[in-house]
Amino acid sequence: MLTKTIVSTVLILAVMAVRAVFQKKVNPIFIYALWLAVAVRLLMPGMLFFSPVSIMNTNLWRMGSTWLIQEEERQDIEYKQQQYREYYEQKLYEQSSGLIQKEANTGGAEVVEIELKWQWAGTVFGRIKQFAEIVWATGMAVITIIFLWKNLSFYHFLRLSRRKVAKAAAGRRDIPVFIVGDKLASPCLFGLIPAIYLPEKGIYQNEEENFCILEHELTHYRHGDHLWAFLRMICLIINWYNPLVWLGAKLSIQDGELACDAGCIKRLGESKYCFYGEALLAAVTYSRERKKGFKAAAMMNPGKKFMKKRIEFIAREQKYSLFLLAVMMIIMFMAIACTYTGTVHMEAKMKVEYFGIANEAGG
């Protein structure tokens, strides 16, 4: 778990750095896609394979891992020696006191009864691992309950107050559109089998703005953001203890909104830039009025600072560099190679340990 946490953190930091450098120079959809590499790394239990480019080959990593392995082995040997001494002393005492009984039907062999039960490890490192596993499992259970409660309560609210008004075409599928109670803070796409939900009271001043906001939610669907939301939730549940995972989830939501804006602008054309920007501003105004309303990760993310960034993005000329896109992808492939692969020395160590265990078992 420690290894996965470190390499995942390194990859998140790499994506943040790449994002900061290339965000204004590369199409946001490609920036958004970078987070998929992070999600896969967070959910992947081990390494893909062993390679010389892994960050686990650095001197700092080797020094740290060597110390941990040696200290763990030292504690384990000391504990086993202590256990053996105590066992041997107990046997000597039992033999001298005549306490050892032998069954007749065992041919004089000693009968030993062993009761299997959970107990704390005998070494400090072992107890730390056990305690960390308990805390991790407890945290996962708590975060899972919180996410389930929030999503189920939000779905319950939608079910009670929604009213179907239309269907919106998105490729081969028609997405149902519902009007719901005015507690909804902003329009949203919700559910693994998604639907579009709009506040009951009118937010927008004309049909053009309504069309723009509907196109915005349909673009979320085309980008698979309802699946991204579920994937983010799984990553947060498993890696709840890592604050950078929470920060990465927040940034990925923002990048998803920018990618959605870019997709909408491309589909709507320059003639509807203003209507689209006005629709976003209307969402901010309405959301402030409904501060106590329901909010969900799939909504339009109407934070003031981030909304200003989105408006500036919409207003500027949309020109991107294919060369810089290629540079960004090369950097990301290098980051993935460094964090998805393990050390060659660890592979050799595993082989030595394996054959050592096999020889002990055979001998």
On whether the pTM is more than 0.85, the answer is no
- How much is the pLDDT for 277? 76
Q: How far apart are CA 47 and CA 74, in angstroms?
A: 27
* Contact (Cβ atoms closer than 8 angstroms) between residue 54 and residue 65: no
Q: How far apart are CA 270 and CA 176, in angstroms?
A: 28
Q: How far apart are CA 141 and CA 207, in angstroms?
A: 45
Q: Is residue 226 part of a domain?
A: yes
Sheet holding 188-190, edge to edge: 163-170, 173-180, 195-199, 188-190
Four-point Cα dihedral 289, 291, 293, 296, nearest 10: 120
User: pLDDT truncated to tens, each residue of the chain (363 aa)?
Assistant: 777 888 899 999 999 999 999 988 899 999 999 999 999 999 998 888 787 877 777 666 666 666 667 666 776 777 676 766 666 666 666 666 665 554 444 455 555 555 545 556 666 667 777 788 889 999 999 999 999 999 998 888 888 888 888 788 777 788 898 888 777 777 889 988 899 988 876 555 567 777 888 888 999 999 999 999 999 999 999 999 999 999 999 999 999 999 998 888 888 776 677 777 777 777 665 554 444 444 444 455 556 677 778 877 777 767 888 999 999 999 999 999 989 987 765 544 544 444 444 444 444
Strands 195-199 and 173-180: parallel
CB atoms within 10 A of CB 217: 27
Q: Is residue 104 part of a domain?
A: no
Q: Is residue 103 part of a domain?
A: no
Closest CA to 4 of 52, 38, 35: 38
* Contact (Cβ atoms closer than 8 angstroms) between residue 213 and residue 283: yes
- How much is the pLDDT for 359? 44
State which residues form the domain around 283.
2-87+124-343
Token digits for 340? Answer: 């998805």
Which DSSP category does 109 fall into?
P
Q: How far apart are CA 55 and CA 9, in angstroms?
A: 12
Token digits for 267? Answer: 């589909």
Sequence letter at residue 73: E
Q: How many domains does the chain have?
A: 1
Q: How far apart are CA 22 and CA 3, in angstroms?
A: 29
Output the 3-class SS for 22-48: HCCCCCHHHHHHHHHHHHHHHHCCCCC
Number of residues written out for the chain: 363
Q: Is residue 243 part of a domain?
A: yes
3-state secondary structure of 106: helix
Q: Is residue 358 part of a domain?
A: no
Residue with tokens 């209307």: 282
Angle between helices 243-268 and 2-22 (to 10 degrees): 40
CB atoms within 10 A of CB 332: 19
3-state secondary structure of 292: coil
Q: How far apart are CA 78 and CA 199, in angstroms?
A: 67
- How much is the pLDDT for 300? 52
Q: Is residue 92 part of a domain?
A: no
Q: Is residue 361 part of a domain?
A: no
Q: Is residue 360 part of a domain?
A: no
- How much is the pLDDT for 361? 42
Strands 188-190 and 195-199: antiparallel
